[in-house]
Amino acid sequence: MPPAEHSLTSLSATGETVRGPAVFATTHWSVVLEAQGESPAAQKALEKLCRTYWRPIYGYVRRHGAGTEDAEDLTQGFFALLLERKDLNSVREEKGRLRSYLLTSVKHFLADESRHAMALKRGKGQRLIPFDDIQEGKRIEAERYDQLTADQIYERRWAFTVLEQVMARLREEYRSAGNVRFFDQMKKMLMDESDRPSQAQVAIEFGMTENAVKQAFYRFRQRYQTLLREEIAHTVAMPGDVEDELRHLIAIVRT
């Protein structure tokens, strides 16, 4: 089971879903839809979403038979065309969710041979997506590449990308406070890793009482849940969609 799957399984099992209003008014996808891609803010938001959520698209294209280099070019071309396109009205048919919109869009994209050819040309010159940080062999193995459909790979890669973003945001908060080592231990406890420390071990390492460690871990887990909801909110158009997307994400990582 991948580390991120441990963390989400633990989260859902506790039933401690964080309630209350999420920061929603300025989320990336709602900005894009509200401005229909015309404003600088909407363009910046869309570019950020593309850079964040390219892995599901890349995995989908690879599963359709494209080699590594062709898949990179197609993915670059897909997002280059997406950034130029002004008509986002079709997203309404996908309930205003970035996850569904991108999947439908890439299916249409790959079915369009002229656009396919254009993408290969244009992708060569556009480096929007940071492919340098992908380790193809490891990711293929982790996602059981040959055993999953293209849609399943897309959904799993989407879910784990969301979780990776959440953990990166949480780590940055602890780094800013000068507590990276403490973050590392809290993360191991949350994800139930093989070298997971006990509360007693953490207490000794940081000169804390076990009760203080327990409280710190509770706050860590609560913050993780809050950031997870915020990250999901960035990919939907309406606040009411967050809960459905959260349930969908949990179902994906637990399969």
3-class secondary-structure state, position 169 = helix
Domain range holding 50?
A: 3-253
Q: Taking the complete model, does pTM exceed 0.85, yes or no? A: no
8 Å CB contact between 127 and 76: yes
At residue 248 the predicted structure's pLDDT band, cuts being 50, 70 and 90, is very high
Give how far Cα 56 sits from Cα of 36, 67, 120, 151, 161, Å.
23, 16, 19, 9, 8
What distance in Å separates the CA atoms of residue 156 and residue 228, rounded to the nearest whole number?
16
* Tokens, residue 183: 């973050």
49-94 pLDDT per residue, tens: 888 889 999 999 998 888 888 888 888 888 887 877 655 656 655 5
pLDDT in tens, 37-61: 567 877 788 888 888 889 999 999 9
Measured between alpha carbons, how far is 51 from 126 in angstroms, rounded to an integer? Answer: 12
CA distance 160 to 252: 9
SS3 97: strand
Q: What is the pLDDT of residues 17-26, one digit of tens each?
A: 334 444 444 5
Q: Greater confidence, 151 or 142?
A: 151
What span, in angstroms and rounded, lies between the C-alpha atoms of 118 and 147?
31
Number of domains present in the structure of the chain: 1
User: Coil, helix or strand for 187?
Assistant: helix
Cα–Cα distance measured from residue 237 to residue 129, given in angstroms and rounded to the nearest whole number: 24
